[in-house]
Amino acid sequence: MKKTFSAYAALLILLLSALGAGQPAIKRSNPIVERAFAAWNSQDPDKLVAAYSDDIVYEDVPSGSVSNGRAELRKFAVLTFSGVGDFKIEAVNTWVENGHGVVEWAWSGVDKDWFKTGKPFSVRGVSVFEVRKGKISRNKDFYDAAAIMRQVGKLPE
């Protein structure tokens, strides 16, 4: 059975609600997330893959891209950096407990090679991840790709 994005979004809302029940407030930052986001913001693929485990499974759900291992994640990062100028991602809220985590983030950039518009975009998203030995070992990113397309002029408002 194929799950839709709205089903994933509903699941994330339930997860975030359950995680917050009886728990302290969600923290704005976490050293593991900070290291990964600093690596993304450096736009250095080698620095980026160092923030993840050797056997990382990194899924960009809206694009349908799944990277298995650091070599594939590095290729994904190179494609992302070549397609997006002024790449910036910022953690808004982070929760990590017992090897599992959720981070709400804001991502912005300029469309260079995805649609070749040269227009800026900004979108909010969520990553669900697992941590092992101080590194992210599984990651799933969820964001509204259509919002990016609207902002760069590839979909009507």
Question: By the 8 A CB rule, do 39 and 48 touch?
Answer: yes
Question: Between 120 and 29, where is the model more confident?
Answer: 120
3-state secondary structure 23-35: CCCCECCCHHHHH
Instruction: Show the domains of the chain with their CATH numbers.
Output: 26-151 (3.10.450.50)
Distance CA 142, CA 65 (A): 12
pTM score of the predicted model: 0.83
CA proximity to 145, closest of 83, 54, 78:
83
pLDDT digits (tens, 9 = 90+) for 102-149: 999 999 999 999 999 999 999 999 999 999 999 999 999 999 999 999
pLDDT digits (tens, 9 = 90+) for 35-70: 999 999 999 999 999 999 999 999 999 999 999 999
CA proximity to 141, closest of 19, 30, 37:
37
